[in-house]
Amino acid sequence: MARGIPISCWLLPLALASSTASALQIGEVSFTDCRLDGGNGSLPAQCATLRVPLYAEQPDGEQIELALAWLPARAEHPEPDPVVFLAGGPGQSALETWPRMDPILGELRRRRAVLLVDQRGTGGSAKLGCTQLEMDEFDREVTDADMQQLARTCLAELTVDPIPFTTEDAVADLERVREALGLTQLNLFGGSYGTRMAQRYAKRHPAQVRTLLLDGVVPESLVLGSEHGRNLDAALAGQFQRCREDARCLEAIGDPAELLRSLRETVANGGDEVEVFHPRTMERRQLHFTQPILAGTVRLSSYAPESIALLPFVLKEALAGRPQGMIGQAWLLGDTLGESIAVGLNLSVSCTEDLPAFDSSQFEAEAGTLMGAELMRGLQAQCEVWPHRQDPLPDRFEPLQGDWPTLLLSG
């Protein structure tokens, strides 16, 4: 399939874009100076909003605003097709996530601008934000009724109908953004769930895609949420093997897999009551070190290379009756993750697109893992009360087929 761009199109974005020190006009959209905050700093950018229909089938009906940001290329004569970063989750804000990534991926801006669009339901785009369980609420059995009450509480906090907040709706939004900016093609860079967004956009608008960069690939055939326990166990096995192969680690810590196995046996008997201090507020809390807390802290520790590298040490400390460091570390990571994920959007996407494909074999496969099938059960319970579309797309699980330069990064 030919992917060349006519010479007239190379000049189009430059003809449409004019700027001053504080304003930038791209197509129909006016951008102004702003700063994107995230991570340990902020990033200068140009920001704008674009109004789109809440319901795709009602173009003249209720509208929502999408938050956009434009990070210009450093080249004097940049390429006409920007890189579009699609954040993960589902539920992360692209505008909030990119500043943490720019120091590493800023080279993408050498010849191309980066376009950020907060997916509907995240960040500055009608965010479906909700209250989540605190760590100390997991020191007892969390029931289906608890999870459903969380969903109901979340619904009561929302000011917009959560039903039209799916990947398909977000893809339609991105196409409206492209048209409004007068762009011919896009280079899609998706991370985790963002790779689903990229693939779905390429399915719907193949001619508008120049390249795909998929980091942490979520294939269209994957039922998101049905493999978290097995993925965690695989990540732990790899990290623990590194310790076993390092003589100093093995001598100082022992076999981390054995430590975790012993710790699971300990907490299975009820777990000890421990006193912990919240690492941010220093508020004193009393909680039981239970199986859900163990599984949750280990899972959160796996999200960053620094914390998973510390895991063998904190497992040894916890087994010795000192789990406070492990819990505090996970608390920090959990707070950060919870703040970055729009829970309502996560539910709207998952209940519509993934829950219908849950089956008994997936529950059985997850049951023997550290986490068990609790995440699947919790999602199943919440989706019983969360409003969502009941008609999954016929091609939902069909793999993407096309002819684009594509880089896949996973592992």
Specify the range with the lowest mean pLDDT, choosing from 167-171, 178-182, 393-397. Answer: 393-397
pLDDT band at 19 (very low <50, low <70, confident <90, very high): very low
HEC states along 390-406? Answer: CCCCCCCCCCCCCCCCE
Cα-Cα-Cα-Cα dihedral sign, residues 365, 366, 372, 373: negative
Q: Which of 136-140, 195-199, 262-266, 276-280 has the highest mean pLDDT?
A: 195-199
Residue whose token pair is 């310790």: 243
The pTM of this model reads: 0.87
According to the per-residue pLDDT averaged within each range, which of 6-15, 103-112, 135-144 is highest? 103-112
Flag the least confident range among 44-53, 66-75, 276-285, 376-385. Answer: 276-285
Residue 306 pLDDT: 82
Predicted local confidence at residue 10, as pLDDT: 31
The distance from CA 19 to its chain's CA centroid, rounded to whole angstroms, is 33
pLDDT at site 18: 41
| Percent of residues, the chain, with pLDDT higher than 70 | 89
Work out the pLDDT band at 73, boundaries 50, 70, 90.
Answer: very high
DSSP secondary structure letter of residue 213: E
Closest C-alpha to 300, from 95, 105, 138? 138
Contact 335, 135 (CB under 8 A): no
pLDDT of residue 4: 37
Q: What's the pLDDT tens digit per position in 109-167? A: 999 999 999 999 999 999 998 876 554 555 567 789 989 999 999 999 999 999 999 99
Q: Give the span between the Cα atoms of 97 and 305, in whole angstroms.
A: 18
Query: Which amino acid is present at 172?
Result: A
Domains of the chain as residue ranges with CATH = 7-128+165-220+396-409 (3.40.50.12270), 223-393 (no CATH)
Q: What is the pLDDT of residue 22?
A: 64
- CA–CA gap between residue 113 and residue 231 (Å, rounded): 34
Instruction: Find the distance separating the first CA and the last CA of the chain, reported in whole Å.
Output: 30
How many other CB atoms are there within 10 angstroms of residue 254's CB atom?
A: 17
62 or 339, greater pLDDT: 62
How far, CA to CA in Å, does 384 sit from each of 7, 223, 357? 53, 18, 15
pLDDT score recorded for residue 6: 35
| For range 338-356, the mean pLDDT | 91
Report yes or no: 37 and 99 within 8 Å, Cβ to Cβ.
yes
48 to each of 28, 54, 97, 127, how far by Cα in Å? 11, 18, 17, 16
Average pLDDT on 387-397 reads 86
Query: Is it the case that residue 357 has pLDDT exceeding 80?
Result: yes
Which residue has 């006193």 as its token pair? Answer: 275
Which range has the worst mean pLDDT, 16-25, 33-42, 202-211?
16-25
The per-residue pLDDT of the chain, averaged, comes to: 88
Q: Which of the residue ranges 9-23, 237-251, 303-317 has the most confident prediction, judged by mean pLDDT?
A: 237-251
CB 211, CB 188: distance < 8 Å: yes
User: Which is higher by pLDDT, 132 or 288?
Assistant: 288
DSSP alpha helix (H) spans, 209-342: 228-244, 247-253, 256-268, 291-301, 305-319, 324-340
More confident residue, 212 or 139: 212
The tally of CA atoms less than 13 A away on the side-chain side of residue 257 is 15
Q: Is the pLDDT of residue 302 over 80?
A: yes
Mean pLDDT lowest among 179-188, 300-309, 396-405? 300-309
Q: Distance (Å, rounded) from C-alpha 394 to C-alpha 399? A: 12
Element (H, E) at 378: helix 374-383
Distance (Å, whole) CA 81 – CA 101: 20
- Alpha-carbon span 158 to 148, nearest angstrom: 16
DSSP string, 157-209: H-SS-STT-SHHHHHHHHHHHHHHHT-S-EEEEEETHHHHHHHHHHHH-GGGE
74-99 burial, b at 16+ Cβ within 10 Å, e below that, comes to: eeeebbbbbbbbbbbbbbbbbbbbbb
* pLDDT(278) > 70: yes
pLDDT at 305 over 50: yes
Identity at 377, one-letter amino acid code: R
Q: Is the pLDDT assigned to residue 203 strictly greater than 90?
A: yes
**Is residue 153 within 8 Å of residue 134, measured between CB atoms?**
no
pLDDT at 372 over 80: yes
Query: Would you put residue 405 in left (φ > 0), alpha (ψ -120 to 50) or beta?
Result: beta
pLDDT at res. 106: 84
Q: What mean pLDDT do residues 74-103 have? A: 94
- Kind of pairing between the strands at 18-19 and 23-26: antiparallel
**Residues across the chain:** 411
User: To which residue do tokens 């990947």 refer?
Assistant: 167
Check pLDDT > 80 for residue 16.
Answer: no
In 3-state terms the chain splits into helix, strand, coil percentages (rounded to 5) of 45, 20, 35
Look at residue 2 and tell me whether its pLDDT is greater than 50: no
Confidence band of 17 (pLDDT split at 50, 70, 90): very low
Q: How big is the CA angle at 336 (ends 333 and 342), to the nearest 5 degrees?
A: 130
**Least confident among 35-44, 145-154, 272-281, 337-346:** 272-281
